[in-house]
Amino acid sequence: RKEVEQDPGPFNVPEGATVAFNCTYSNSASQSFFWYRQDCRKEPKLLMSVYSSGNEDGRFTAQLNRASQYISLLIRDSKLSDSATYLCVVKTGANNLFFGTGTRLTVIP
Amino acid sequence: GAGVSQSPSNKVTEKGKDVELRCDPISGHTALYWYRQSLGQGLEFLIYFQGNSAPDKSGLPSDRFSAERTGGSVSTLTIQRTQQEDSAVYLCASSLTPDNEQFFGPGTRLTVL
């Protein structure tokens, strides 16, 4: 079983729509959780960390459910510039980041 | 300021040849990581350096892969006797400390013919 599993998509949504991505992780000892964004042929960049209480950054809301080992990312009022691949990332142990394969989002005008 | 840089950006090699990939981390970052990303796959952790030592080499896929870091700065990932399955984008990341955000370089796209 993979450490991190994501629906690869693609998700094609119109501008202004709300879209949600989900991710599950297998190791209950995982300590830290993140969403990274990766544009085509570019390096991943940190979008936001995910905290147990849930956290929001503008149009982006991240939630963590430790009991179900489940992480989510909600994007409200989608913009064309949100088109990218969103990577669910889990930190287990001192150093290892485990990346999901990513969920591809295309926002359509 | 300067981010993580990697060279070369693209490398095409023949099966069986050795290749060296270079990473220049952000100045002052003590932690350095190597990952690879194959088509349709998530990023795969390869190795982690704290300073010049590598406390975690668990991700290296075979003994053909090795890496070193000198002066607490530049790191080189070496792949010996390359195979076609080594074709991937090799990404380097650095962080101020292991607990801080990792910043990624642009990657080296390796193609083994």
Measure the CA–CA gap between B66 and B47, rounded to whole angstroms: 9
Is the per-residue pLDDT at A39 higher than 70?
yes
Q: Do B91 and A43 touch (CB under 8 A)?
A: yes
Nearest to A4 among B42, B56, B59 (CB): B42
Strands A11-14 and A103-108: parallel
Q: What is the pLDDT of residues A40-81, one digit of tens each?
A: 989 999 999 998 888 999 999 999 999 999 999 999 999 999
pLDDT in tens, B10-61: 999 999 999 999 999 999 999 999 999 998 778 899 999 999 998 888 889 9
Is the confidence at residue B1, as pLDDT, over 70? Answer: no
pLDDT value of residue A56: 94
Report the pLDDT value the prediction gives residue B18, as an integer from 0 to 100. 98
Q: Are A96 and B45 an interchain contact pair (Cβ–Cβ within 8 Å)?
A: yes
Euclidean distance between CA atoms B24 and B92, whole angstroms? 9
Residues of A whose CB is below 8 A from B91: 43-44
Q: What is the DSSP letter of B74?
A: -
The mean per-residue pLDDT over the stretch A29-38 comes to 92
Q: Provide, as residue numbers in chain B, all residues whose Cβ is less than 8 Å from the Cβ of A40.
A: none
pLDDT tens-digit series, residues B48-93: 999 999 888 888 999 999 999 998 899 999 999 999 999 999 999 9
% of chain A with per-residue pLDDT over 70? 98
Question: Rounded mean pLDDT of chain A?
Answer: 92
CA distance A51 to chain B (A): 15
Cα nearest neighbour of B97 on chain A: A95
CB pairs under 8 A between A and B: 45
Whole-angstrom distance, CA of residue B63 vs CA of residue B6: 23
| Chain B: closest CA distance from residue A94 (Å) | 7
What is the Cα–Cα distance from B19 to A76, expressed in whole angstroms? 45
Contact B43 A99 (CB under 8 A): yes
Question: Cβ contacts (< 8 Å) between B107 and chain A: which residues?
Answer: 43
CB contact under 8 A, A95 and B107: no
Instruction: Determine the pLDDT at residue B101.
Output: 86
- Euclidean distance between CA atoms A34 and A47, whole angstroms: 8
pLDDT for residue A22 is more than 90: yes
DSSP β-bridge partners for residue B31 = B50, B95
Q: What is the pLDDT of residue B77?
A: 97
